[in-house]
Amino acid sequence: MDSTDDPIVAMWQRRWQRERNARKQAEVILEEKALELFEASKLLKKNNENLEQIVDARTKAFEKSQRRLEAFIRNLQYGIMLENENRKLVLTNMAFCDIFSIPLTPEDLIGIDCVAALEDVKYLFTEADEFVERVGDLLAKRELVLGDELSTIDGRILERNYVPIFFDDNYIGHCWQYRDVTQIKLAQEQIKLSEEKYRGVIENMELGILEVDNDGNTVRAHKRFCEMVGYTEAEVLGKHAASLFIAPVSKTVFDQQVEIRNKGGASTYEVQMLRKDGSLMWAVISGAPIFNTKKEIVGSMGIHLDISERKKLESELKQAKIIAENAQRAEKDFLANMSHEIRTPLNAIIGMAHLLYDTRPNKQQIEYLDILKNASSILHRLISDILDIAKIEAGRVEIQNKPFDLIGLVRTLQKTFQMRAKEKNLEIECMVDARIENWVEGDELLLNQILLNLLGNSLKFTEKGHIGISLRLLKRENKQITIEFKVYDSGIGISPEKLPLIFQKFKQLDNNKQQKYRGTGLGLAIVKELIELQNGTIKAESDLNNGTTITFQLNYTDCGKPEINHLPAPTHISEIQTAQSLRQLKVLVVEDNEMNQQYIKGLFQKWNIAFNIAENGSEALKKAQEQNFDLLLMDLEMPIMDGYNAAIAIRNTENINTNTPIVALTASALLDQKHKALEAGMNGFLTKPFSPQQLKELLIKHLPVIADNIQEEYNSPTFEFSEQLDTNSLNIFYDTDIEHACEMFETFLESVLPEFTDLYTYAETKNYEKLYKIAHKLKPTVAMVGLTWIEPMLFTIEQACRDKKTDSEQTIKQNIQNINQEINTFQPILQKEYKRLKKFCKKYKP
Partner 1 sequence: MKGLVFSEFLELVEQMYGYEMVDKIIENAHLPSSGSYTSVGTYSHLEMFELLTNLSKEVSISVDDLLRLYGNWFFDVLMNGHKRHLNNLTNSFDLLYAIEDHIHVEVKKLYPEAELPSFETTIINPTHLKMIYSSERKMWALAWGLMEGCFKHYKEKAAITYHFLVSDGSKVQFDIHLLA
* C-beta closer to partner 1: residue 16 or 517: 16
Residues 404-443 that bind partner 1 (CB under 8 A): none
CB of 32 to partner 1, least distance (A): 10
- Least CB distance from residue 22 to partner 1, whole Å? 4
34: contact with partner 1 by CB under 8 A: no
- 36 forms part of the interface with partner 1 (CB under 8 A): no
- Of 16 and 291, nearer to partner 1 (C-beta) is 16
What is the smallest separation between the CB atom of 50 and partner 1, expressed in angstroms?
Answer: 23
Cis peptide preceding 570, ω within 30 of 0:
no
Shortest reach from residue 45's CB to partner 1, in Å: 21
Using the minimum distance from each CB to partner 1, give the nearer residue, 22 or 61: 22
Half-sphere exposure of 754 (CA within 13 A, CB side): 4
CB atoms within 10 A of CB 152: 18
Which residue in the set 4, 6, 9, 15 belongs to the binding site for partner 1 (CB under 8 A)? Answer: 15
Kindly report each contact of residues 423-429 with a partner whose C-beta sits within 8 Å and lies 24 or more positions away, as own/partner: 424/459, 424/462, 424/463, 424/464, 425/464, 426/459, 426/462, 426/464, 426/465, 426/466, 426/467, 427/466, 427/467, 428/455, 428/466, 428/467, 428/468, 428/469, 429/466, 429/467, 429/468, 429/469, 429/470
Q: What angle do CA 674, 676, 682 make, to 5 degrees?
A: 75
Q: Which is nearer to partner 1, 44 or 610 (CB)?
A: 44
CA distance 164 to 173: 6
351 and 639 Cβ atoms separated by less than 8 Å: yes
Q: What is the contact mask toward partner 1 in residues 535 to 554, using x (rule: CB under 8 A)?
A: --------------------
Angle between helices 523-533 and 444-461 (to 10 degrees): 150
- Residue choice 4, 6, 9, 26 for contact with partner 1 (CB under 8 A): 26
Q: What does each C-alpha distance from 243 to 209, 216, 233, 246, 280 come to in angstroms?
A: 17, 9, 16, 6, 14
Instruction: Specify the 3-state DSSP secondary structure of 359.
Output: helix
Report the residue number, 28 or 338, with the smaller CB distance to partner 1: 28
Nearer to partner 1, 30 or 338 (CB): 30
User: Closest approach of Cβ 26 to partner 1, in Å?
Assistant: 4
Q: Does residue number 186 form part of the binding site for partner 1 (CB under 8 A)?
A: no
How near is the Cβ of 43 to partner 1 at its closest, in Å? 16
Taking the complex as a whole, the smallest distance from the CB of residue 12 to partner 1 amounts, in Å, to 8
- Nearest approach in angstroms of CB 8 to partner 1 is 9
- Sign of the four-CA dihedral 281, 282, 286, 287: positive
Taking each continuous run of H as one helix and of E as one strand, the counts in the chain are 29, 22
Alpha helices for 357-401 (secondary structure H): 363-393
Q: Is 29 an interacting residue with respect to partner 1 (CB under 8 A)? A: yes
Q: Which is nearer to partner 1, 26 or 144 (CB)?
A: 26
User: Using the rule CB under 8 A, which residue among 19, 85, 316, 708 binds partner 1?
Assistant: 19
**Nearest approach, Cβ of residue 173 and partner 1 (Å):** 36
CB nearer to partner 1: pick between 6 and 108: 6
Q: Which is nearer to partner 1, 6 or 133 (CB)?
A: 6
Interface region with partner 1, contact rule CB under 8 A, candidates 19-27, 72-80, 584-592, 683-691: 19-27
Q: 3-class DSSP state for residue 807? A: coil
Task: Mark residue 147 as left, alpha or beta (left: phi above 0; alpha: psi -120 to 50; beta: remaining).
Answer: left
As measured in angstroms, the least distance from the Cβ of 33 to partner 1 is 8
Distance, CA of 758 to CA of 770 (rounded, Å): 9
Check binding of 11 to partner 1 (CB under 8 A).
yes
Which stretch in 24-32, 295-303, 342-350, 772-780 sits in contact with partner 1 by CB under 8 A?
A: 24-32
Report helix, strand or coil for 47. helix
Instruction: Candidates 15-23, 165-173, 788-796, 822-830: pick the segment binding partner 1 (CB under 8 A).
Output: 15-23
Q: Does 40 bind partner 1 (CB under 8 A)?
A: no
Count of residues interacting with partner 1 (CB under 8 A) = 15
For residues 33 and 539, which CB has a smaller minimum distance to partner 1 in the complex?
Answer: 33
Contact range with partner 1 by CB under 8 A, out of 28-36, 120-128, 193-201, 779-787: 28-36
Spell out where 196-346 has E strands.
207-213, 218-221, 267-274, 280-291, 297-306
Binding test (CB under 8 A) with partner 1, winner from 14, 42, 318, 845? 14
Residue 2 CB, shortest distance to partner 1, in Å, is 18
Check residue 18 for interaction with partner 1 (CB under 8 A). Answer: yes
**Distance from C-alpha of 571 to C-alpha of 550, rounded to nearest angstrom:** 40
Crossing angle of helices 363-393 and 308-356, rounded to 10°: 160
Q: Is 21 in the site for partner 1 (CB under 8 A)?
A: yes
Residues 121-140 that bind partner 1 (CB under 8 A): none
Site for partner 1 in 449-478 (CB under 8 A): none
Please report whether residue 22 would count as binding partner 1 according to CB under 8 A: yes
Q: How many CA atoms lie within 13 A of 779 on its CB side?
A: 17
We find the least distance from the C-beta atom of residue 18 to partner 1, in angstroms, to be: 4
Smaller CB separation from partner 1, 41 or 400: 41
**Alpha-carbon gap, residue 409 to 799, rounded angstroms:** 40
Q: 18 or 842, CB closer to partner 1?
A: 18
**Alpha helices for 110-148 (secondary structure H):** 114-121, 128-141
Cα separation of 752 and 745, whole Å? 10
* Span 766-825, contacts to partner 1 by CB under 8 A: none
Using the minimum distance from each CB to partner 1, give the nearer residue, 15 or 422: 15
DSSP element (H, E) containing 409:
helix 406-421
Asked if 35 interacts with partner 1 (CB under 8 A), we say no
Identify the CA nearest to 137 among candidates 156, 164, 97: 164
Q: Using alpha carbons only, how large is the chain's radius of gyration in Å?
A: 61
Return the number of the residue (20 or 842) whose C-beta is nearest partner 1.
Answer: 20
Instruction: Please name which of 412, 426, 505, 493 lies closest in space to residue 459, comparing C-alpha atoms.
Output: 426
Stretch that binds partner 1, among 16-24, 149-157, 540-548, 680-688 (CB under 8 A): 16-24
Q: How far apart are CA 614 and CA 591, in angstroms?
A: 6
Backbone angles phi, psi at 180, to 5 degrees: -85, 110
30 vs 187 by CB, closer to partner 1: 30
Residue 23 found at the interface with partner 1 (CB under 8 A): yes
DSSP 746-768: HHIIIIIGGGHHHHHHHHHTT-H
Q: Based on the shown chain and the rule CB under 8 A, indicate whether residue 30 belongs to the binding site for partner 1.
A: yes
Nearer to partner 1, 21 or 608 (CB): 21
Segment interacting with partner 1, rule: CB under 8 A, options 22-30, 389-397, 515-523, 529-537: 22-30
Residue 25 binds partner 1 (CB under 8 A):
yes
Would you call 189 helix, strand, or coil by DSSP?
helix
Q: Report whether 455 contacts 469 (CB < 8 A).
A: yes
Contact letters for partner 1, residues 626-655 (x by CB under 8 A): ------------------------------
Q: Which is nearer to partner 1, 30 or 43 (CB)?
A: 30
List beta partners, residue 587.
611, 631
Q: Using the minimum distance from each CB to partner 1, give the nearer residue, 29 or 37.
A: 29
Element (H or E) spanning 609, and its range? Answer: none
Contact residues for partner 1 (CB under 8 A)? Answer: 11, 14-15, 17-23, 25-26, 29-30, 33
